Amino acid sequence: MATDSEPLAEAVSRIEPGSSIATGLALEHAIPFAAGHELLRQGIDDLTLIGPISDLLFDQLVGGDAVSAVRAAWAGNVSAGTGYRFREAVEDGRIEVEDHSNFSIALSLKAAAMGVPYLPTRSILGSDIFERNDRFLESTDPFTEETVALIPAISPDWTIVHAQRASPQGDAHLWGNTGITDPAVGAADNVLVTAEEIVDPEVITSDPSRVAITREQVTAVAEVPFGAHPSPVAGYYNRDNEYYLEYSQQTKTQEAFDEWAETWVYGVDSREEYRDLVEADLSITEPTVAAEVQYGQ
């Protein structure tokens, strides 16, 4: 359990080389890019990355030579298609890939969160995914005698989540698309929460229904404004669409990626310095405010 918030570098330093990390769990929303860049700066490598639609974060970590394996449904660049660093690493055989569907990765994490060895599904039956993932099994349902697929549990060493706000102890408010954040938090041995704001605990307890993560689940929490850029964070900033296109053009070779990373990852000492590199205006101009909720006593 986290006892107090800490600087991002200190929080990330808890993650050991060789760890398995689930992240990018809210799909295209609130991807913890700042934490990923800090992994690269600290040289924490030999990582196994776990997630559904990972977008650019997995590609960047692969490009930074931090990854040995990926267990995911998709990795690349949502705006431009291919993630060149991921693609080249797969073609060269430098990383192992365990192929999943979005639903199977969700089931794997849900099974671990429930404390069961596997969960059954029919959703991947008839597909060729069994040829690319030998951990999936076809079996007979003992109750109906129908064929089902068995999806084994995945228990990450760490789950990394970016939230809108958190208390110093790690209780976090998260809204908008949350994807499979909940099962990934429940499945992990450790959880790192980065947040746009660290707020007084009274702010969190004022809206208990919005608490997506509780302190008992959290190992470390860090305040990291703009910590999900270039992905959006509901209520804070929009998606930086141009960044995705520019990244695609600037990282087609490893040498080009290294030059990009020297500016965007290794050339900044803080997220504030990183933000100075971003020219786009991502501010929310038409805020949508939810209706007031009364809890009362």
Quick: pLDDT tens for 97-156.
999 999 999 999 999 999 999 999 999 999 999 988 999 999 999 999 999 999 999 999
Domain boundaries for CATH 3.40.1080.10 within the chain: 8-93+156-277
Helices 33-41 and 56-63 pack at an angle, to 10 degrees, of 0
Q: Please state the rounded mean pLDDT for residues 179-195.
A: 98
d(CA 124, CA 148): 9
| pTM check: above 0.85 | yes
**Residue 44 corresponds to which tokens in the numbers above?**
């924490």
How far apart (Å, rounded) are the C-alpha atoms in residues 28 and 25? 8
Look at residue 294 in the predicted model and tell me its pLDDT. 87
For the segment 190-217, what is each residue's pLDDT rounded down to a tens digit? 999 999 999 999 999 999 999 999 999 9
Domain 8-93+156-277: CATH superfamily is: Glutaconate Coenzyme A-transferase (3.40.1080.10)
